[in-house]
Amino acid sequence: MSNEWQAYPVGTPPSGKNWNSKCQKFDEVSHTAHVYHAIEMAREMVIRGRLIYDESKLNEERWPVVWLSPNRWNSVGSRYGSVEFWFDWERLLKNVDSFWVEAIKYSPVAPRFLLANDSKDLPVAEYDPSEFDGPWAFDESKGIHYRNGEVTLEFMFSGDLPLTRLKSISFVGHSEKYCCLKRNSPKSCLEHALHADTAREMFVSGLISRNIHGGRSLFRERWIAK
Ligand SMILES: [Zn+2]
């Protein structure tokens, strides 16, 4: 096996409606944030790229990214907060190249990709999803993206991501067990175990109380509370 990503390949796309966990379609990705951060993003109408600080091999590079994933947390709740900003995957891929970064041995494993115009001297490898040999695959003839649903795909989008490119907003409960901001004491997070409906009320009232209009792009699409 020559490439690390080949350890986590998508399965064969099943015919008909019988999807399987190793091969799932996706056409959008989200950035998930805590409510108070999400309000600040709405105020600025941009998700600011941040330096990578976790165990990633890029954590010593001065390379700001916005984290994105096609994953849906639903019943287990999210460790990243309760506001999900969704973006159209095809549109995001325009004008960026794709690179393999690493697979972090979480449970489940988190394969990571970098989306960037230029990877400069970063220790990453070019990745072609149409090769169909990794956890993210693209069927060019059908225009469909697939993911291995048994792992958690994570995409690092280089730089800032303007909310003018937003597709929709949804709300999800905050995990009871984990918090990305309070790794060692998740219960000390002010939004610990927050319900999706409460998150939506906090987000909306936060926008109104700060007189944040966000332009048409923030409100023209559907809002979803799961
Ligand atoms: Zn939290």
pLDDT digits (tens, 9 = 90+) for 52-84: 888 899 998 989 999 999 998 777 899 999 999
Partners of 46 in the β-ladder: 162
pLDDT value at residue 161? 97
Q: How far apart are CA 107 and CA 152, in angstroms?
A: 9
Residue 221 falls inside a structural domain: no
pLDDT value at residue 70? 95
CA of 190 to the centre of ligand 1 (A): 7
CA of 174 to the centre of ligand 1 (A): 7
CA of 94 to the centre of ligand 1 (A): 32
pTM of the model: 0.92
CA of 127 to the centre of ligand 1 (A): 32
pLDDT value at residue 220? 56
Q: Which domain holds residue 154?
A: 17-211
Residue 146: Cβ within 10 Å count: 23
Residue 223 falls inside a structural domain: no
Residue ranges of the chain whose pLDDT lies below 70: 1, 18, 214-226
Residue 197 falls inside a structural domain: yes
Side chain identity at residue 204, one-letter code: V
Residue 11 falls inside a structural domain: no
What total number of domains does the chain contain? Answer: 1
Q: How far apart are CA 226 and CA 223, in angstroms?
A: 10
Q: For the residues of 7-60, what is the DSSP string, one character each? A: GS---PPPSTT--BTTBEEE-EEEEEE-HHHHHHHHHHTEE--B---SS-TTTT
Residue 26 falls inside a structural domain: yes
CA of 161 to the centre of ligand 1 (A): 22
CA of 16 to the centre of ligand 1 (A): 39
- Quote the DSSP letter at residue 215: H
Sequence-separated (6 or more) residues with CB below 8 Å from residue 142: none
Burial per residue of 50-69, b for 16 or more beta-carbon CB atoms within 10 angstroms, e otherwise: eebeeebebeebebebbbbb
Residue 226 falls inside a structural domain: no
CA of 79 to the centre of ligand 1 (A): 6
| Cis peptide upstream of residue 108 (ω within 30 degrees of 0) | yes
CA of 31 to the centre of ligand 1 (A): 14
CA of 173 to the centre of ligand 1 (A): 10
Residue 2 falls inside a structural domain: no
Residue 148 falls inside a structural domain: yes
